[in-house]
Amino acid sequence: MDKHDERFKVANREALIGVGLALINFLWWFGFAYGLGSKPPEEYSYIFGLPAWFFMSCVGGFILMSVLVIFVVNVYFTDVPLEAKDEDIE
């Protein structure tokens, strides 16, 4: 059953990693957007022509997540067979 299958341990860990990534993504996105974007527009600073809040939150956040996802998948994700193993079939 579930508990004895090593593959599900791997799957559970990876699901938690997914939730963790989403949390980081949200905090970064929210923090920069409303942290830097809440002042009046005259006081905005700009990065590559875009308001800093937008650049950091949307462009920077996207780049950060891409890098994180590539890293996490390559380092922490494990290959497992998906087909049922013979001894598992009841």
By CB under 8 A, name the binding residues for other proteins: 2, 7-8, 10-12, 14-15, 17-19, 21-22, 25-26, 29-30, 33-34, 37-38, 40-42, 44, 46, 48-51, 53-54, 57-59, 61-62, 65-66, 69-70, 73-74, 77-84, 88, 90
Q: Is the CB of 4 or the CB of 83 nearer to other proteins?
A: 83
Closest CA to 11 of 72, 60, 77, 70: 77
Query: How many angstroms separate the most distant Cα atoms in the chain?
Result: 68
Helix (H, G, I), strand (E, B) or coil at 51: strand
